Structure 1
Amino acid sequence: MTTTVPDERARIRTALRDLARTTALPMAFGGPVLPTHHLLLSDLVGARTTSLQGLSVRPGTGLGGKVVTVAQPIAVPDYPNTPVITHEYDSAVAAERLQSLISVPVIVRGTVRAVLYAGLRHAAPVAERVLDQGTAVARELEQELVVRDEVEHRVAQLHSDQPRSELSGTEREQVREAYAQLRVIAQQTTQPEVRERVRGVAEHLGTSLERPNRTGSVTLSPRELDVLACVALGCTNADAATSLGLLPETVKSYLRSAMIKLDCRNRTEAVAAARKAGLLP
């Protein structure tokens, strides 16, 4: 089955551009941590050479390898002479004339998944502000990778590529639960393009159930669908508000609006009508 899941490598590239922009440092680079725990320097921003491109950094070695091991940000104001790291990769760093560097881990559920660097081409103390900015970029990337992992996990778990007729009652409820939870995840992410991609995956999961063609002219807004999807899981207005980052009164307003559009008197009828109309799985 093909899904529109945000690509991890693309997200790292975007994070490095954000890192260069927010820190105003002339070079940013980094990459994913492979299953072997080696760090692969896959992407460079502001590079003058290709000396760092594709470099594989062993765990515990160099600046990035130490960050992988200790899972904490590290700043070195004088890279060539710092005693806090090993120096296996000095020639590659020297080719870029880098001397002052920060390196921050991207930690997803306790595992370092990527490392981001930014640096200057002269020795200088690293401002605490710069390290904080780098950490903020890493945390945003962490959030996007959590979303990506959750989408992939749910798609694999549901085996939604099997024929619709083979879905059991339990599997149908799993699809509905995953649909609702993916809409919640989409709402929680800060990246608009990722939000739309995750919603697209939710809709793809919804097609695992036999959904009738949409009837009539009823159209619900994305927020109304988010609220109804939570209601379909048995959430109260307060539960839905917490999940979607809304006020309870706002949830109540969206629910009331959906009920009016669906010509229903209560939340249970609204969910049933939305399913009948093909708006919910």
Structure 2
Amino acid sequence: MGERRSDTAELRTALLRMRRATGLPVAFGGLLDERPRAPLRIGELSGTSSEVLRGLAIRPGGGLGGRAMALARPCAVTDYPEARHISHEYDEPVAAEGLRSVLAVPVVVRRHVRAVLYGALRTPQPLGDRVLDAAVAAARDMEQALVVRDEARRSADPVSGTGGVRGPGGAGGMGGGPGAWEAVREAHGELRALAPHIADPEVRDRLLAACGRLASAAGGAVRGGAPGGMPGAAPGGAPVVLAPREVDVLAAVATGATNAEAARRLGLRPETVKGYLRSAMRRLGAHTRLEAVVAARRAGLLP
């Protein structure tokens, strides 16, 4: 129950942030129930004139929010009742609140939709790129907050937490097996993506140090160097030093992200991601993305 309350608090914060950043007068949203096939239920309202939307159950694929859930990407309509690419089972409550131009942005954590943020106008007019980008940024902030909160919960859990995680295989293997180790790698990538957005340098350095411990847990020896750098050594080779952003990109690629997905996570342009990836491959002596990830893991730069 406490976890649900904390997620609700993050949702409320994200909606307020979205309203301020976009200038949209109405915002609302809900959390996805963790039960199988359970709907998303609208639970937080900001700027609405009534309670008609509260408690509304949104099924995947239904209406604008359900479409955003099903596609795991933002969706928007200029005039909700006239939109042709969405279903219209929620037209009555939307009309009762007087909403016309609406956007819906999913909050996706480890490939699973955890929440949906809605923003709306009471007039039918296009929502520009600035509004959409600001709404996506609010959803991304909530995603990162949930990632950090989830990791804190795991660390505090003696059964499923990552305390005492060791390298894969044999006596040093992780108790949860290969699947659990992949979860550590995903968490490492998400935390690396979060670090550049933290303004407090001390907190950022502590987070990067924790990422370094996750990387070295795989069996690579991460050795000292300049703060923020990621030095390591490939077996039988000279020390390898990657720039922080090169490690960020490789951490995203290691989870299967495309260049576009890595760019979205890191707040970079796809061309910039390609540049960092090429540079990392050159430093690691790799010719493909997979070779670069494998080399980075051997050098202790990735878990």
TM class by smaller structure: 0.5 to 0.7
Matched, 1:26 2:25: yes
Q: Which residue of 1 aligns with 2:64?
A: 63
Q: Which residue of 2 aligns with 1:7?
A: 6
Matched, 1:89 2:76: no
Q: Which residue of 1 aligns with 2:195?
A: 188
Partner letter of residue 87 of structure 1? Answer: H
Partner letter of residue 129 of structure 2? Answer: E
Q: Distance in 2 between matches of 1:128 and 1:225?
A: 32
Matched, 1:79 2:80: yes
- Following superposition, the deviation at residue 117 of structure 1 comes to 0.6
One of 220, 230, 237 as aligned partner of 2:224: 237
Tell me: CA distance 1:129–1:32, structure 2 relative to 1, closer, same or farther (3 Å).
same
Gaps in structure 1 of 5+ consecutive residues: 161-169, 171-177, 200-221, 249-281
Q: Which residue of 2 aligns with 1:271?
A: none
Higher relative contact order (CA 8 A, sep 6+): 1
Q: Which residue of 2 aligns with 1:40?
A: 41
Tell me: CA distance 1:58–1:153, structure 2 relative to 1, closer, same or farther (3 Å).
same
Q: Secondary structure at the match of 1:43?
A: strand
Cα deviation, 1:93-131, whole Å, max 9, x if unaligned, reads 111100001111111111111100101001001112111
Q: CA RMSD in A?
A: 4.0
Partner letter of residue 12 of structure 1? Answer: L
Q: Distance in 2 between matches of 1:125 and 1:239?
A: 48
Q: Secondary structure at the match of 2:61?
A: coil
Q: Distance in 1 between matches of 2:68 and 2:206?
A: 44
Tell me: CA distance 1:192–1:157, structure 2 relative to 1, closer, same or farther (3 Å).
farther
Normalized against structure 1, the TM-score is what?
Answer: 0.60
Tell me: CA distance 1:4–1:81, structure 2 relative to 1, closer, same or farther (3 Å).
closer
Aligned residues: 202
Cα deviation, 1:109-164, whole Å, max 9, x if unaligned, reads 1111110010100100111211111111111111111111111122224589xxxx
Q: Which residue of 2 aligns with 1:264?
A: none
Is the Cα–Cα contact under 8 Å of residues 227 and 240 in structure 1 kept in the other structure? no
Q: Distance in 2 between matches of 1:14 and 1:190?
A: 17
Partner letter of residue 133 of structure 2? Answer: D
Cα deviation, 1:37-89, whole Å, max 9, x if unaligned, reads 41111101101000001111111111111111111111100001111111111
Q: Which residue of 2 aligns with 1:166?
A: none
Normalized against structure 2, the TM-score is what?
Answer: 0.56
Q: Distance in 1 between matches of 2:9 and 2:108?
A: 17
- Following superposition, the deviation at residue 17 of structure 1 comes to 0.1
- Following superposition, the deviation at residue 241 of structure 1 comes to 2.0
Is the Cα–Cα contact under 8 Å of residues 208 and 228 in structure 2 kept in the other structure? no
Q: Secondary structure at the match of 2:105?
A: strand
- Following superposition, the deviation at residue 9 of structure 1 comes to 0.9
Q: Which residue of 2 aligns with 1:270?
A: none
Q: Distance in 2 between matches of 1:145 and 1:228?
A: 17
Q: Secondary structure at the match of 1:241?
A: coil
Gaps in structure 2 of 5+ consecutive residues: 162-171, 173-183, 231-242, 245-303
